[in-house]
Structure 1
Amino acid sequence: MLDATKSALPDLRRTRRFAIVGLAGLLASPPSFAGLADALRDGKSNVSARYRYESVDQDGLPNDASASTVLGRLNWSSAAWGNLTAGIEADFVGVVGIDDYNSTTNGKTTYPVVADPEGLDLNQARVRRQSGAVTMTGGRQRILHGRQRFLGGVAWRQNEQTYDAVRIESKGDDVTLDYSFIANVNRIFGPEDGAQPADWQSAIHAFRGVWSIGDGEISAFAYDFDLQNDNGIPNSNRTYGAEYTGEHGGFTLSGGIARQSPSGDSPLDYDAAWYWVEGKTSLGGVTFTLGHEVLGSDGGEAGFRMPVATLHKFNGWTDRFLATPAAGLEDTYLTMAEDWGKVSLAATLHAFSANEGSADYGKEFDLSASMPLGESLTALFKFATYASDGYAADTTKWWLTFTYRP
């Protein structure tokens, strides 16, 4: 592993130079300095906060987890200076009273993991240039592709995942093209290394194109996730695929397909498929969603992996499948959602099994209720319980969250 990391260092130096050159390109031919003071003076700042209590009961560990944490966020965005804008955002995650949990950095390994380490983190620091239909962004930034199934921000956790990258977007009437070169992944486990690395140095190429057609859209994507340190190396992969979603006579139909193989210095040798189908409709005020997702396996040796996706959003809220089993994963799910006045309710049933072989992994039930508490405050309750049929441990989690956004 050490030799592989050393061999990747020259490539990493080149990728950083590439990122610097890309950022310099954003600043080529800057506007007159006469308006710079106005752009800085007219910038806007914003403060938001999120409090969360999280409880985890996981079989096999001697203690249950109780985590009382708060996220404080301060951001500032400049006014336009010609066709340039800039922004900066800082996050602080702290404990409020109860810290009986394994944050991945505090050494409390007899408790279940609640991946909300304490610390102050620079979440964004970016410069953006707008030129007609083309937008270029350089620096530390959010990059969210579609449903965030392959590339996302994991904003559910208190410390968000952002990227040190150069991004180019072109938006037409019916077609949107989006390319990013990512030199570093700032993971949710930061700002300091612990049981998980806070950062993944990388040379990621991420392309996504979206074509609007009638009442639907088709997206095509190509990713080369070359992750160059620590446990990122075996997660390196090349993934190509497409997704579709559209309205058809009161039904929303969606689906996707992709192929994956190793990339970079990955020691793995596999070829795996992913596909997903989903239908959604409303009856009597209740929205029903039925879906089936497959993260394939290559002979039970390695499963389809999604190292920088917003994983909590998919395959159950207990997070039993953040890492795809070697035998792959099949997830059949049914969601029912309804609004009762100001309260939004949703419940989901999952049935999990292996893609390679006939093993049943387990079943999960998820429930959520959310409502506004005035103009700037919202409340969210979530509950999730996983019953194992032989894969991972029985786990029950619940959360109470209050979010303030002025």
Structure 2
Amino acid sequence: MKNALSLAVLAATTATFAIATPAAAKPGDPIVVNDNLTIDPIIEGLLRWEHVNQDDLGLDADAVTIRMRAGAEAKIHNLSFLAEAEGTLAISDHYNDTIPGNNGYLGAEPYSVVADPENVEINRLQLSYKGKAAKVTIGRQRIILDDARFVGNVGWRQNEQTFDAVRGEGKVGPVSIDATYSISQRTIFGVDSPNAHFDGDFILVNAGIDMKPVKLVGFAYMLDYDTRLAFSSRTIGFMATGGVPLGGKAKLDFKIRYANQQDYKLNPVDYSADYIDAELGVSVAGFRLTGGYEELGSDDGVAAFQTPLATLHAFNGWADLFLTTPASGLRDYHGGVSKAFGNAGPLKGVKAAVIYHKFESDFGSTNYGQEWDASLGFQVAGYPILLKYANYDAKAFGTDTEKFWLQIGFKY
């Protein structure tokens, strides 16, 4: 009943914005109410099957879930108001969703974990003012900084991570600044989870200058958790990215990033750890080749560099074995190849990628394991379809893990 009622609420919200159309508009375009007011409906969904096989960790998981988001953004002059509801329904729930009350919590269910619990929530509720050189947003909002390595929305999971925050963004010429004060991290684990949100005082500051072809960014993140004390930290660093043409359509691009993290406020552990990230990429003849090294350092095995606000699935392998950095730290040697194939009959925008990771500890140089990842994406009749595969071969960390995803999305 709860699921049916939740989806009914989302459907009613969608229908309300669909019929409130005083002027004709193409799908995806804002609705023009008058010369000063526009309303941009938000209607999107994602249907996904995720299969997980892990040696010695119970039954294989099969999760078939559908996620819906519905809402609208109204704009009048320089002001905008956005409201968005989000709901996730488990069509097949043969998986450990990590939610208490559903046959247990964190491993009590006889399946591997798929962190997509059934859930209905207010995903975003925000008020914004945008001027010529600055923007201020207050309320529950999506925040993605740089490539989401330190702060992101965890967009891969069905339930999105958002923040209760006030955020200011400014840009003058090549110089930009982005500053946020947040009081709550709204996690992917759903409103029924004891980890639904983590409160505290979070200060997130980015400042950059685009000198073309190189962009420099400096950042400082101060995380003071009320209860998640082991993740309270102060992180300060910089990143340089850029690209240079090699002739014809070939291009070389690079990323260099360094940061230092220390315990902050009530963190009971006294530690200091470094972060290093270096990557080179070459694009030629439609292929992109990448190679890189990422290190989340350890302070002599006592504690390691952590990124609790990040979109973690995008880094250190899609099998998600390293969502929390082990105390001995992590070194990730990785390389990949991707190719944009264009259109193939009814398949539009075909893209494929293969990535390899070799994992070691930072302290002690222990061989954790290795992983192969692969993906294939395309569109059919305007609907994006994605197939993904991850295979982690454990040596001295975790367990052998295979994951497969098939998903189709829509957005209006």
For the aligned pair, the TM-score class normalised by the smaller chain equals 0.7 to 0.9
- The answer as to whether partners of 1:142 and 1:162 remain within 8 angstroms in 2 is yes
- The answer as to whether partners of 1:40 and 1:78 remain within 8 angstroms in 2 is no
Q: Deviations over 1:185-241 (max 9, x none)?
A: 1000011224xx100001000000111012120110001011112xx2211100000
Q: Which amino acid aligns with 2:83?
A: I
Q: Which amino acid aligns with 2:404?
A: W
- The answer as to whether partners of 1:39 and 1:79 remain within 8 angstroms in 2 is no
Q: Which amino acid aligns with 1:261?
A: Q
- The answer as to whether partners of 1:288 and 1:337 remain within 8 angstroms in 2 is yes
Moved over 3 A (4+): 37-42
- The answer as to whether partners of 2:58 and 2:112 remain within 8 angstroms in 1 is no
Corresponding residue number in structure 2 for 1:322: 323
- Secondary structure at the residue paired with 1:274? strand
- The answer as to whether partners of 1:39 and 1:78 remain within 8 angstroms in 2 is no
Q: Partners of 1:125 and 1:283 in 2: how far apart?
A: 43
Gaps of 5+ in 2: 1-32, 343-348
TM-score (normalizing by structure 1): 0.87
Corresponding residue number in structure 1 for 2:410: 404
Deviation for aligned residue 1:396? 0.3
Deviation for aligned residue 1:45? 1.4
1:157 paired to 2:152: no
Corresponding residue number in structure 2 for 1:369: 376
Q: Deviations over 1:301-338 (max 9, x none)?
A: 11100001000000000000001011100000011001
- Secondary structure at the residue paired with 2:204? strand
Q: Partners of 2:120 and 2:50 in 1: how far apart?
A: 21
Q: Which amino acid aligns with 2:287?
A: V
Richer in helix (by share): 1
2:57 to 58, 61, 86: 61
Q: Deviations over 1:109-141 (max 9, x none)?
A: 321110011011101000001233111100000
Corresponding residue number in structure 1 for 2:6: none
1:47 to 43, 46, 53: 43
Q: Partners of 2:396 and 2:36 in 1: how far apart?
A: 58
Q: Partners of 1:224 and 1:46 in 2: how far apart?
A: 33
Deviation for aligned residue 1:40? 9.8
1:99 paired to 2:93: yes
Deviation for aligned residue 1:46? 2.3
Q: Partners of 2:283 and 2:351 in 1: how far apart?
A: 15
Deviation for aligned residue 1:39? 9.1
Q: Which amino acid aligns with 1:51?
A: L
Q: Tell me the C-alpha RMSD between the 2 structures.
A: 1.4
- The answer as to whether partners of 1:217 and 1:245 remain within 8 angstroms in 2 is yes
- Secondary structure at the residue paired with 2:137? strand
Q: Partners of 2:38 and 2:260 in 1: how far apart?
A: 47
Q: Partners of 2:66 and 2:37 in 1: how far apart?
A: 30
Identity %: 35
2:395 to 367, 389, 395: 389
Q: Which amino acid aligns with 1:224?
A: M
- The answer as to whether partners of 2:42 and 2:84 remain within 8 angstroms in 1 is no
Written as runs of structure 1 = structure 2, the 5 A alignment for 1:199-218 is 199-218=197-216
Q: Partners of 2:42 and 2:217 in 1: how far apart?
A: 33
- Secondary structure at the residue paired with 2:129? strand
Q: Which amino acid aligns with 2:341?
A: W
Q: Deviations over 1:349-401 (max 9, x none)?
A: 000001111210000000000001123x1100000000011101110000001
Written as runs of structure 1 = structure 2, the 5 A alignment for 1:265-304 is 265-304=266-305
Q: Partners of 1:70 and 1:271 in 2: how far apart?
A: 42
Written as runs of structure 1 = structure 2, the 5 A alignment for 1:4-403 is 42-80=38-76, 82-96=77-91, 98-105=92-99, 106=102, 107=104, 109-194=109-194, 197-229=195-227, 232-248=228-244, 249=246, 250-341=251-342, 342-375=349-382, 377-403=383-409
Q: Partners of 1:178 and 1:49 in 2: how far apart?
A: 30
Q: Partners of 1:263 and 1:38 in 2: how far apart?
A: 51
- The answer as to whether partners of 2:81 and 2:126 remain within 8 angstroms in 1 is yes
Q: Partners of 2:317 and 2:366 in 1: how far apart?
A: 18
- The answer as to whether partners of 1:366 and 1:384 remain within 8 angstroms in 2 is yes
- Secondary structure at the residue paired with 2:325? coil
Q: Partners of 2:110 and 2:270 in 1: how far apart?
A: 35
Q: Partners of 1:136 and 1:332 in 2: how far apart?
A: 39
Q: Deviations over 1:45-68 (max 9, x none)?
A: 121110000000012212010000
Q: Which amino acid aligns with 1:289?
A: T
Gaps of 5+ in 1: 1-36
Richer in strand (by share): 2
Q: Deviations over 1:19-64 (max 9, x none)?
A: xxxxxxxxxxxxxxxxxx9699742212111000000001221201
Q: Deviations over 1:69-89 (max 9, x none)?
A: 000110200021x32111011
Residues 76, 352 of structure 1: CA spacing in aligned structure 2 closer, same or farther, 3 A cutoff? same
- The answer as to whether partners of 1:71 and 1:158 remain within 8 angstroms in 2 is yes
Q: Partners of 1:304 and 1:239 in 2: how far apart?
A: 9
Q: Partners of 1:217 and 1:358 in 2: how far apart?
A: 33
